[in-house]
Every structure is written in structure tokens, then in C-alpha cells.
């Protein structure tokens, strides 16, 4: 199928009846067998897929309290060991062992052990989450899979145990905040910069309880990987879910997963949105946010010269091939500054393999970077690069909260992988455009 | 349902990394979590909190991670309820599921101070000081959440439901 065919197939010019519904209303309505569902309705939904990580341990504990032996449908359950993987302590090792035992006993075949990658990455990359599906994950960044047109919402472990027990839970149909962008992005401005810019405008609760729907022609230039960044960071505005359209980019990425009726996975042109905002691409510079507040994003030049001890590239936000390639453009032929360490955790085994094949890993190693196993890495402060008192880290991850990556007296700045790589070379926060030889 | 204790006030955006940092999460024991409750936001809280105490906070309480241990840490430290201007949605669900009342009030944070002795009457929907000088009404809990809360959390709620189904069969 050519790109033009796909564009035709998924474009809004396809004649279909308009029902005035958002994609959130369509997906949740379908999952609750209530096609007329509207924003504000509280529905009993049956998810198409559920996912949990190390907190599967807690899910199982609650399931035992309910005296239930296994999930309602083991085929719909995904379990990934990614947060403290490989194990950081004896306790975690015991948790991992328990989880391995229970997935065997319960017949959960979609199990991803140490080193396979980050849960949200695997849901997309392994084509587990599909367009139009309702996916619940016991992790706040489950919004990430909106990149493939699925409605992904985070829940807690007890909630997940309830779903394992009954196959159902309650969800309120969210209102939708539509985000579009006009114009053309400047060079070396990446999806992470768009996300940090958006959050700096909307604030940490700017999309509370809402579905953030990215839409418009700007997405044409943003890959599935980039859409995952946007949907991932929507969680930092309080979003319940985030979603991108199933369009020709999706069709080209995965023709086999493209739905027959793309309209089922996008909002109708006459849908009612809570609000619509349009960003102007030219306004966005490489961004840095921090410390302690994700919404504290500003243009990188406002932070230049801040000394850093650690630079981290990875996480469910920015650990994909596209991210490692961007970092390698910056790092090629350069060295990480004395006294600074660059840690890189590919988001999955496949990302690591591809990056090896392309010579990207070799570039990172030659620059003096450290390659960590695929997984969450130091993002959540559990292991593999915990920060000490007074240390400063620039990170491609999603949260810069006080104490997040270790000491409460450490500081975390968030940025795109290119900005993190440039900062590693200079040993201080740096504009990636200098190293990409882009005239300012 | 009535909660009674001293008030601990906090600001806006108290995230889950402040409530219970990730470095403590490899031990799931509730008493271990309680020892570090609110560690990122207050040095005095974990040692000083007593059973029944009430947290009164600002906007977006519990934002960030989905970690249920944030609720477990507060609950096992003795917190009987959290009153805030607003809650992050996953924290809110987790609290309801673990049977800890989470209540919205726009005024409580400005009218109550640390150490105030206060009582929450869930049926009346108000938070008042024991001396009767301060009183604020709380937003009504949505009906589905109220049912789960009234059962004491999701586990007892689901047990009651399945027991009920068994009886009718």
C-alpha cells in the first residue's frame, strides 16, 4: 500500500456518519457496551488489555485476599519486570521470583523478564496495544500507548487486582483537551521540547482527569516514537489518557495493525471538546525544566552554565532508537566532560539491538557513555545511577521531583536526549544546536 | 463515618515522590513505609503523626506515580483522611480502594492550621475544629466511590458483592 493510499484510507475525507463523539467517548463506550456514552458518564468497562510491572506483587497479594486463583483472562494480562531490573536488593529479587512463579502458575504468557525493556515501550513495540483498545496499566505513564490510538489509563495495584478478579472496573468518561500546532518546528526541536513547552503553558494539573488528544497536520512529521513522548508527558499535566490519531504515519509503521475503520479511533469533526489549544511551532526552542517542577520549562539558554554531575538518556519518555540516534549525532567525535557521567538505558532489547546495528551504541561508548540494561534505569531512584546529596542531573525522563532519583538534596533537570547529550559533553547544561552545527 | 485527630497542613502539588520516595519501595511492609511517610515534604511528620490525624493540603495532592504505597504509607502511619483542594486521579482511586477518605475542600487549607484538633463527619460532609470555631464543608464523594469507601475499600466491597451473588444463587 502506498503512502497516498493510506492517507486516503485514514483521512477525514472518508465519508462516514458523524456522531459528534470524541475518541475517548468512542473507546470507553465500546468497552462498556454503551455506545452512546458521553463525557462525564461513569461506566463499568472491560479493558482489552491490562499491564503491571513489579507491583504485580501487590496485585497478587490483593487477589489472594479475594481468594481468587488467577486473572479473569490470563491472555489479556501483560507483566513486565522493568522498574528494578535486574534486582537492586534481596527484597526485589524475592519479589521478582514470586512474580515469575505466579505468571507460570496462572498461565500469563505475555511475561517480559529482566532486560526485555520498559512496560510502555513493550506494549507498543510488541504490538500488544492496538488502535481503539482500552488498556489499563498499574503505572501512571500508561498514557504513552495513546501513540497507537489506544486509550491507556493508569490505575493502582488494588484497582488492578479488582480488574484481575472481575475483568471490570469503573471509569469516568473524560472530557477532551485537543492540542494542535501550527507552523514549522525549528531544527533540533524534538517532541520532548514540545511536551515541556506545553506543560510550561498548561501547568501540572492543566489536563486533570482529561483525555489529551493530539491532532492536526503537525503530527505528520512526528513518528510513533515522538507521539509516545507527547502522550507519555501528558501524565505530567494530570491527564487520564492521551491519544494521537491512527493516520498514515501509523499505517506505514504497522500496516498489519491498522484498523479497517480508522474513524473508530479518532474524534468526529463535530465532537465536543472541553478546550482546544493551538501551539505555534516557531515559538518552541530546545527546552529544559527544573528542578523539582516539570512545569518549570524554559528555553535552554536560560539554564546554560549550570554544572552537571550526571546525564541520563532513557526511560519510557525518551529511551527509543530515535532518541539514541539524536544523542549520537551530538556525541559523534566528542567526549563526555571530565567529572561528568553519561548513562544510557535503551527502552528495550529491540532498541538496544537496532542501536548496535546502526553503530549508535558504539558512538555513545566511544564518547565515554555507560550503557545500562534495557529498563527504567535511574529514573525512579531505585538503582543504576542514584544521585547523591548536592549532585545535579540532566535527564531525558519525565519527572524532576525532589528526591525522585535519590538524595533530596540533588537537583534534576529535564530535557530532550540531544540536550542531555550536549550537556554531557560540556559538563554543564548546553544547547544541542551548538553541537549539531546549527546556526542560531 | 467519623475521623478525629490533629491537622497537618501541606501546600500544593504534594507528589508521590514526596509522600513516599522510590528508594523505599522495594520493601512492601506497611510499617516500613509508614516510617518514611511524607519524608520529602516534612521532617517531623513520620515521627509525630498519631492515629486519626488529618492531612489538609492544596491543589493536586498525590500527583505523579501510580504507586499505591503512597496511600499505604499515610494510612499505616495513622492518617485517617486527606482533605485537599484537588487530588491527582490515581491517588484518589488508590485512597478510595484502600478505604482512606479523600475529600475536596477549597477553604480548608487556608482556614486550618497545624496542630488544630479536628473532626470529619463524612455523613454531614464537614470538617470542623473540636473547639467549634472552624468549620468547612466538603465536596460530596461521587456515589460509586462512596459505596467502596463505605465498605472499607475495594477488597471488602468486592467480597460483599460476591457473597451477595452467592446468596442469590
- Per-residue HEC secondary structure of chain B comes to CEEEEEEEECCCCCCHHHHCCHHHCCCCCHHHHHHCCCCCCCCCHHHHCCCCCEEEECCCECCCCCCCHHHHHHHHHCCCEEEECCECHHHHHHHHHCCCCEEECCCHHHHCCCCCEEEEECCCCEEEECCCCCEEECCCCCHHHHHHHHHCCHHHHHHHHHHHHHHHC
**Cell reading at A120:** 510502555
B90-141 tens-digit pLDDT: 999 999 999 999 999 999 999 999 999 999 999 899 999 999 999 999 999 9
Does residue B163 register a pLDDT over 90? no
Q: Do A403 and B40 touch (CB under 8 A)?
A: yes
- According to the model, what pLDDT value does residue A5 have? 40
Residue B31 in contact with partner chain A when CB distance is under 8 A: no
CATH of domain B2-140: 3.20.19.10
**pLDDT at A258 (0 to 100):** 87
Nearest CA-CA distance, residue A55 and chain B, Å: 8
Q: Are B105 and B85 in contact, with CB atoms under 8 Å apart?
A: yes
Choose among B27, B60, B90: nearest Cβ to A204.
B60
Cα(A174)–Cα(A111) distance, integer angstroms: 31
Prior bond to A288 cis, omega within 30?
no
Residues of A within 8 A of B25 (CB-CB) are 382
Q: Is the pLDDT of residue B80 over 90?
A: yes
Please tell me the distance in Å from A1's CA to the nearest CA on chain B: 41
Beta bridge partners of B5: B118
CA of B151 vs chain A CAs: smallest distance (Å): 14
Instruction: Answer whether A156 sits within 8 Å of B158, measured CB to CB.
Output: no
A17 Cβ contact list (under 8 Å, min separation 6)? none
Low-confidence stretches of chain A (pLDDT < 50) are 1-13
Name the average pLDDT for chain B: 94
Q: pLDDT tens digit string along A315-351?
A: 999 999 999 999 999 999 999 999 999 999 999 999 9
Q: Give the neighbor-by-neighbor strand order of the sheet with A370-371.
A: A297-299, A287-289, A411-415, A392-395, A310-313, A341-344, A370-371
Alpha-carbon gap: B98 to the closest alpha carbon of chain A (Å): 8
Confidence bin at B59 (pLDDT 50/70/90): very high
Q: Where are the domains of chain A?
A: 22-281, 288-434
Burial call A33-64: b when 16+ CB within 10 Å, e when fewer: ebeebebeeebebbbbbbbbbbbbbbbbebbe
Contact between chains at B66 and A42 (C-beta distance less than 8 A): no
Q: What's the pLDDT score for residue A8?
A: 39
Closest residue in B to A158 (Cα) is B97
Q: How far apart are CA A114 and CA A80, in angstroms?
A: 8
Query: What is the pLDDT at residue A17?
Result: 66
* Chain B nearest C-alpha distance from A293 (Å): 9
Report the pLDDT value the prediction gives residue A117, as an integer from 0 to 100: 98
Q: Check if B25 contacts A (Cβ < 8 Å).
A: yes
> What CATH class does A288-434 carry?
alpha beta
Torsion, CA A321, CA A327, CA A330, CA A334, rounded to 10: -110
- Please answer yes or no on whether B67 and A92 come within 8 Å at the CB atom: no
Chain B, 108 to 137: residues with Cβ < 8 Å from chain A are none
Mutation site, A156, A159, A236, interface B, largest B CB count within 10 A: A156
CA distances from A131 to A50, A146, A248, A355 (A): 15, 8, 13, 27
What is the b/e burial string over A221-241, where b = at least 16 CB atoms within 10 angstroms of the residue's CB? ebbbbbbbbbbbbbbbbbbbb
**Residue from B10, B66, B102 whose CB has the most chain A CBs within 10 Å, to mutate:** B66
ipTM confidence score = 0.94
* Identical fold, A22-281 and A288-434: yes
Q: Which of A153, A152, A118 is nearest to A132 (CA)?
A: A152
- For residue A72, give the C-alpha cell: 479473569
Specify the pLDDT at position A214.
97
For residue B93, the model assigns a pLDDT of 97
Give the pLDDT score at B167.
65
State residue A16's pLDDT score.
60
The reported pLDDT for the residue numbered A7 is 44
Architecture of domain A22-281: 2-Layer Sandwich (3.30)
Greatest CA separation for chain B: 54
Q: CA quadruple A15, A259, A262, A34: dihedral positive or negative?
A: positive
Contact residues on chain B for A401, CB-CB shorter than 8 A? 15, 17-18, 40, 64
All 3 cell numbers of residue A151?
Answer: 486509550
**Cβ <8 Å between B22 and A382:** yes
Amino acid at each position: 500500500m502506498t503512502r497516498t493510499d493510506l492517507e486516503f484510507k485514514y483521512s477525514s475525507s472518508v465519508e462516514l456518519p458523524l456522531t459528534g463523539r470524541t475518541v475517548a467517548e468512542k473507546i470507553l463506550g465500546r468497552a462498556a457496551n454503551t455506545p452512546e456514552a458521553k463525557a462525564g458518564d461513569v461506566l463499568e468497562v472491560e479493558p482489552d488489555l491490562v499491564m503491571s510491572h513489579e507491583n504485580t506483587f501487590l496485585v497478587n497479594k490483593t487477589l489472594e485476599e479475594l481468594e481468587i486463583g488467577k486473572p479473569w483472562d490470563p491472555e489479556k494480562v501483560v507483566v513486565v519486570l522493568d522498574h528494578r531490573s535486574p534486582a537492586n536488593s534481596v527484597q526485589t529479587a524475592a519479589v521478582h521470583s514470586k512474580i515469575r512463579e505466579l505468571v507460570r502458575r496462572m498461565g500469563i504468557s505475555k511475561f517480559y523478564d529482566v532486560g526485555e525493556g520498559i512496560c510502555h515501550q513493550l506494549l507498543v513495540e510488541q504490538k500488544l496495544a492496538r488502535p481503539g483498545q482500552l488498556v489499563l496499566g498499574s503505572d501512571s505513564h500508561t498514557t504513552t500507548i495513546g501513540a497507537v490510538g489506544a486509550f491507556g489509563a493508569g490505575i493502582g495495584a488494588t484497582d488492578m487486582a479488582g480488574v484481575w478478579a472481575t475483568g471490570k472496573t469503573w471509569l469516568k468518561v473524560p472530557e477532551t483537551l485537543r492540542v494542535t500546532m501550527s507552523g514549522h518546528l525549528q531544527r533540533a526541536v524534538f517532541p520532548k521540547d514540545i511536551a515541556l513547552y506545553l506543560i510550561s503553558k498548561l501547568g501540572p494539573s492543566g489536563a486533570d482527569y482529561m483525555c489529551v488528544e493530539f491532532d492536526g497536520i503537525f503530527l505528520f512529521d512526528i513518528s510513533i516514537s515522538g507521539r509516545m513522548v507527547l502522550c507519555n508527558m501528558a501524565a505530567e499535566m494530570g491527564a487520564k489518557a492521551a491519544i494521537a490519531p491512527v493516520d498514515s504515519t501509523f499505517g506505514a509503521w504497522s500496516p498489519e495493525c491498522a484498523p479497517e475503520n480508522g474513524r473508530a479511533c479518532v474524534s468526529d469533526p463535530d465532537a465536543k471538546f472541553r478546550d482546544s489549544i493551538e501551539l505555534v511551532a516557531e515559538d518552541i526552542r530546545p527546552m529544559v525544566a527544573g528542578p523539582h517542577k516539570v512545569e518549570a520549562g524554559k528555553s535552554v539558554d536560560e539554564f546554560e552554565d549550570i554544572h552537571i554531575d550526571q546525564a541520563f538518556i532513557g526511560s519510557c519518555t525518551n529511551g527509543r532508537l530515535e532518541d539514541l540516534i539524536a544523542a549520537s549525532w551530538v556525541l559523534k567525535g566528542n567526549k563526555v566532560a571530565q567529572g561528568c557521567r553519561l548513562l544510557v538505558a535503551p527502552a528495550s532489547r529491540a532498541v538496544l539491538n537496532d542501536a548496535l546495528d546502526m553503530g549508535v551504541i558504539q558512538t555513545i561508548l566511544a564518547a565515554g557513555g555507560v550503557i545500562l540494561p534495557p529498563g527504567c534505569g535511574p529514573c525512579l531512584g531505585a538503582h543504576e545511577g542514584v544521585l547523591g546529596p548536592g549532585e545535579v542531573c540532566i535527564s531525558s525522563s519525565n519527572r524532576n521531583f525532589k528526591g525522585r532519583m535519590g538524595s533530596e538534596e540533588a537537583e534534576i533537570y529535564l530535557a530532550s536526549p540531544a540536550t542531555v547529550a550536549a550537556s554531557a559533553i560540556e559538563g554543564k547544561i548546553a544547547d544541542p544546536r551548538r553541537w549539531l552545527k546549527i546556526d542560531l | 463515618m467519623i475521623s478525629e485527630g490533629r491537622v497537618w497542613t501541606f501546600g500544593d502539588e504534594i507528589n508521590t515522590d514526596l509522600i513516599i520516595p522510590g528508594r523505599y519501595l522495594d520493601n512492601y511492609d506497611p510499617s516500613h513505609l509508614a516510617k518514611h511517610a511524607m519524608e520529602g515534604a516534612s521532617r517531623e511528620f513520620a515521627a509525630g503523626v498519631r492515629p486519626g490525624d488529618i492531612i489538609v493540603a492544596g491543589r493536586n495532592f498525590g500527583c505523579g506515580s501510580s504507586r499505591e504505597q503512597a496511600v499505604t504509607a499515610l494510612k499505616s502511619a495513622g492518617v485517617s483522611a486527606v482533605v485537599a483542594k484537588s487530588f491527582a486521579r490515581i491517588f484518589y482511586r488508590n485512597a478510595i480502594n484502600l478505604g482512606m477518605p479523600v475529600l475536596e475542600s477549597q477553604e480548608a487549607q487556608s482556614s486550618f492550621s497545624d496542630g488544630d484538633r479536628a473532626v470529619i463527619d463524612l455523613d454531614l460532609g464537614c470538617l470542623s475544629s473540636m473547639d467549634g470555631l472552624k468549620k468547612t464543608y466538603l465536596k460530596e464523594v461521587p456515589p460509586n466511590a462512596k459505596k467502596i469507601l463505605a465498605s472499607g475499600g475495594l477488597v471488602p466491597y468486592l467480597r460483599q458483592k460476591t457473597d451477595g451473588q452467592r446468596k442469590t444463587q
